[in-house]
Structure 1
Amino acid sequence: MSNLSIWLKPIWLLSLGTTAGLVILIALWGILFLVNRRAAAGVLSSIREGILLPVTYTLAILGVLALLATPTMNVSEVLDSLKRMTAVGQVEVTATIPANTPDFPLEISFRPEELQSYSFVSEQDLAVNTEKGKGYIEPVVQIEGNQLYIWSPGSSLPRSFEEEVETLYFTNETDLPSELTVIFTSDVAMPEVHYLRVAALSVVGLYLGYLLINLVAPKAAIIAAATSKEAISQPLFMLLTVIGIAALLLYVYVPYNTFGEDVKMLKTSGMATIKVLAIIFALWTASVSVADEIEGRTALTVLSKPVSRRQFILGKFLGIVWPILLMFLILGTVFLLTVSYKVVYDARESAKTVPIWTECFAEVVRIVPGLVLAFFEAVVMAAISVAISTRLSMLPNLIICGSIYVLGHLGPLIVKSSAGEIVFVKFIGRLISIVLPVLDHYEIEGAIAGSSAVPTEYLLLALIYSLLYCAAAMLLALLFFEDRDLA
């Protein structure tokens, strides 16, 4: 496999997942078209007029890249693993093996190359075979009574099974029946294909979530679509995106002098760059689309129509979130490419053995949770900026939000530091942590750079925290805006 195929294969796999998501959406739209053509036309209109159009273009580009790279990839291995996804997993079987019984059958099917671990626990000595008639003559595995027999790839025991198995036969030559518990854990030959499903479901969830918001809050969605269009058309969006892409590409070739740990520095630098650029764009857009419209009496024109102030604020907030999402999608894709390439680049520059593609894939998937958390942080800052923009202009908004960003990261550190032992300092630190968002929750660059997995539960808790804080910020924005004189 060439160096190009090595670092490109992780992105190719993820692109297959996003393309599959688009195919699923097209199929769903086709069903809707057959059932209700008017609703199908409305869905297309929502996609064309909102943020989903540039998102679709971005995903389509990924699909084209995946198609172009397919001839250089081992497609059969991917297809075989996809077919086997429903046949693998953990199988636990409990049975009673009668006394003096040869070849007691238990239907347990697996492929040896897919085994991750297996274990046997029995009250009596047993012999395990894959064929009848062998018993204790040629046992594949011999189990001792009341002793846990467990195999995993790192254990000293042999795997024992070398061919595909459909049924295991257990021989009990003792005079007592034996309670047996068997646990087999298997996975597909290419475990990375699980992320195809995650990518596809993420794409489907994004589109359905956007359309659901349009259905539930149509007036706010119209304001959001207009705001997001205006934000994307501004030179700042293109400027920050270009700066981000250039910085991410430059980080690949920057010598960090970390003795083989340059990938970790790249991940930390890239994550911080994307997050800061997104927050800058969010603060600027909130000031322009909310504060300037209020000062310029544009908001009065909008509110003179059958649009409530609540719908106006919610629409403005969503109209800022969608461009942030698009920026994360574009810069995040470039970031994944640079991280994957950096693994191969560092190995070549350090005269090390050429890495395999799974090493690149592992580095790539570790940074995805960090991008998700960075997006949550940018959304929280956008919500705060919208609330402040209902009363203050751009400059005070930027100063206050900048202060909140700094204090949001320093609050927990103040409490944990030695200075936090002082009662007053400890009180201030806790007050900051309660009133202001604890942005330190979103900082996991150390875990990502240190090759530590981020639990899904942590992402869910961060999502709930972000939603609650955004809801609180929106309520505050409504309080500020409700009695604001727009005339």
Structure 2
Amino acid sequence: MSKLTIWLTPIWILAVGVTIGALILLLMWGVVWLVNRRAAHAIADAVSEGILRPISYVAMSMAALALLAIPSMPYDQIIESLKRLPDVQPIVETVEVGPRKSDVEIPAAFRASELQSFTITSDQDIAVNVAAKKGFQEPLLLVQGGEPYVWAPGVSKPRAFEGEVTTLYLTNESDSPAKVSIEMYTDVETPQVRAIPIAAASTVGLYLVYLVVRFLAPRTAVIAAATAKETVAQPLFTMLILVGVVMLLAFVFVPYNTFGEDVKMLKTSGMTLIKVLAIAMALWTASGSVADEIEGRTALTVLSKPVGRRQFIIGKFLGIIWPIVLMFVILGVVFLLTVSFKVVYDARESSKTTPEWTECYLEVVRIVPGLVLAFFEAVIMAAISVAVSTRLPMLPNLVICGSIYVLGHLAALIVKSSAGEIVFVRFIGKLLSVILPVLDHFEIEGAIAGATSVPLSYLGWALLYSALYSAAAILLALIFFEDRDLA
């Protein structure tokens, strides 16, 4: 496998997921077209005119990569593992084998090559076979009473199982019943394919969320679309994208001198860069789009139409979020490419053995949760900026939001530090943690340093926290804007 294929394979797997998601969307649109052509044309217009248009270009680029790179990719392994995904389930059974019982059948369908680990425990000696009439004469596994038989990669005990297994046969020759517990955990031979349905679901979900908002809240969506279009058309947005792309590429070749930890430094630097650029754009857009329109009486003109103040504020907030999504999509793809390439580049520069593509994949998937958390943080800061913009112009807004960003990262550290032992300092730290967003929750530097993955449950709690705090900030914006004199 060439070096190009090694670092490109993880991105190709994600591209396959995006392609599948795009095909699902096209299929759904085809069904709508057959049922209601007017609605189908409205959906097509929404995709071609809104923020989904540049995102669609990114999706088409990923689809082109997925198709053109097939000859050099391990597509046969990927397809076989995808087919096996629904059949790979943990096997957990507890049975009682009577005294002097032979060939007690336990349904257990799995492939030996997909075994990740298994544990068989019994309070009596038992023989485990995959065929009948073997018993203790030709046992595949002999489990001693009270001594669990544990196998995992790297364990000295043999795996014993080979090929495809459909049934286990248990034999107990003792005069007492045997209580047997079986735990088997399997996974497909290429577990990396699990990213494909996740990428497909994310692609479908992004489009559906945009379209649902557009058709359920049309007036709010119009304001959001206009704000997003204005934001993307600004030179600042293009400049931030270009700065992000150039710096992400430059990070690959920067000598960090960390004695083998350059990939971690790249991930930390890239994550921080994308987050800061997104927050900077959100603060600037909120200040210009909300505060300037209020000061310039443009908001009064908009509200003279059948648009309420709530629709105006929520529309502005969504109009800031959509460009943030676009920025994360573009810079996120570039970031994933640079991280994957950095693994191969470092191995070459350090004269190490050329890594497998699975090593590149592992580094790539570990930063995806970090991008999600960085997006949540950017959404919170955008909501706060919208609230401040309803009362204050651009400069005070930037100062206040910048202070909140710094304190939001320091509040938890103040409480945990030695200075936090002082009663007054601890009180101030806890007060800031209650009032201001605890942005330290969205950092994954610890996970990067420890080479661990962020659990899905943590992302769920972070999403809930982000949604609640953003909702509170927008509610505060509505209260501030409700009695604001626009004349």
TM-score (structure 2 length as normaliser)? 0.97
Cα offset for 1:431? 1.6
Q: Which amino acid aligns with 1:17?
A: G
User: Does the 8 Å contact 1:267/1:449 carry over to 2?
Assistant: no
Q: Alpha-carbon deviations, 1:167-194, whole Å to 9, x = none?
A: 2222222233323222221100000001
1:314-329 correspondence to structure 2 within 5 Å: 314-329=314-329
Task: Give the secondary structure class of the aligned counterpart of 1:99.
Answer: coil
Q: Which amino acid aligns with 2:309?
A: R
CA distance in 1, matches of 2:272, 2:454: 17
What is residue 218 of structure 2 aligned with on the other side? 218
Q: Which amino acid aligns with 2:100?
A: N
CA distance in 2, matches of 1:225, 1:247: 29
CA distance in 2, matches of 1:109, 1:422: 61
Number of paired residues? Answer: 487
CA distance in 2, matches of 1:226, 1:258: 46
Q: Alpha-carbon deviations, 1:100-144, whole Å to 9, x = none?
A: 233232221211110011122223211111223322222110012
What is residue 44 of structure 1 aligned with on the other side? 44
What is residue 33 of structure 2 aligned with on the other side? 33
CA distance in 2, matches of 1:416, 1:171: 57
What is residue 289 of structure 1 aligned with on the other side? 289
Q: CA RMSD in A?
A: 1.3
Task: Give the secondary structure class of the aligned counterpart of 1:94.
Answer: strand
What is residue 279 of structure 1 aligned with on the other side? 279
What is residue 228 of structure 2 aligned with on the other side? 228
TM-score (structure 1 length as normaliser)? 0.97
CA distance in 1, matches of 2:416, 2:117: 42
CA distance in 2, matches of 1:418, 1:481: 42
Task: Give the secondary structure class of the aligned counterpart of 2:108.
Answer: coil
What is residue 206 of structure 1 aligned with on the other side? 206
Please, which moves more after superposition, 130-139 or 309-318? 130-139
Q: Alpha-carbon deviations, 1:22-77, whole Å to 9, x = none?
A: 11111111122222222222222222222111111111111111211111011110
Please, which moves more after superposition, 10-19 or 157-166? 157-166
Consecutive unaligned residues of structure 2, counting only runs of 5 or more, are: none
Task: Give the secondary structure class of the aligned counterpart of 2:256.
Answer: coil
1:7-406 correspondence to structure 2 within 5 Å: 7-406=7-406
Q: Which amino acid aligns with 2:430?
A: R
CA distance in 1, matches of 2:430, 2:92: 48
Q: Alpha-carbon deviations, 1:349-408, whole Å to 9, x = none?
A: 000011000000000000011111111111111111111111111111111111111111
CA distance in 1, matches of 2:97, 2:435: 63
Task: Give the secondary structure class of the aligned counterpart of 1:135.
Answer: coil
CA distance in 1, matches of 2:104, 2:457: 42
CA distance in 1, matches of 2:259, 2:181: 48
User: Does the 8 Å contact 1:370/1:448 carry over to 2?
Assistant: no
1:103 to 1:418, Cα distance in 2 relative to 1, 3 A = closer
Cα offset for 1:287? 1.1
| Runs of 4+ residues deviating >3 angstroms | none
Please, which moves more after superposition, 440-449 or 319-328? 440-449
Task: Give the secondary structure class of the aligned counterpart of 2:127.
Answer: strand
Please, which moves more after superposition, 434-443 or 233-242? 434-443
Please, which moves more after superposition, 411-420 or 355-364? 411-420
Cα offset for 1:445? 1.8
CA distance in 2, matches of 1:270, 1:402: 20
Q: Which amino acid aligns with 1:486?
A: L
Confirm or deny that 1:446 pairs with 2:462: no
Consecutive unaligned residues of structure 1, counting only runs of 5 or more, are: none
User: Does the 8 Å contact 1:264/1:450 carry over to 2?
Assistant: no
Cα offset for 1:96? 3.0
What is residue 432 of structure 1 aligned with on the other side? 432
Q: Which amino acid aligns with 1:357?
A: W
Task: Give the secondary structure class of the aligned counterpart of 1:89.
Answer: coil
CA distance in 2, matches of 1:298, 1:189: 60
What is residue 460 of structure 1 aligned with on the other side? 460
Cα offset for 1:332? 0.6
Please, which moves more after superposition, 126-135 or 364-373? 126-135
